[in-house]
Amino acid sequence: MSEASVELEIKNLKGLHARAAAAFVKCIADLDAEVLVEKDGQEVDGSSILGLMMLAASKGSRINVKASGADAEQAVKNISDLVNSLFGEEQ
């Protein structure tokens, strides 16, 4: 089983809100990886929209993403790309 992790800054204006959380979950849904997301000591399942929203990750927040499983590296890449693309939102 492989593992991968990354620390990311939330840069989009609205933070990790409902639509952004749904996009986060969707970008890893078809992968063989368990993803955990941590912010300020609170860790949630990366496949849970509600869990991600409970992190209250606003613009400027930093999150730690940890993935394990056969597709761990791809999961971290997908999430990094999504966050760095501002969740596809215009600013």
Closest-CA residue to 69 (of 27, 12, 31): 31
- What is the domain extent for residue 84? 3-88
**Catalytic positions, please?**
17
Instruction: Over range 62-85, report the average pLDDT.
Output: 98
* Total domain count, the chain: 1
Q: What is the CATH number of the domain that holds 43?
A: 3.30.1340.10
Read off the pTM. Answer: 0.94
Task: Report the b/e string of 44-53 with b at 16+ CB within 10 A.
Answer: bebbebebbb
5-49 tens-digit pLDDT: 999 999 999 999 999 999 999 999 999 999 999 999 999 999 999
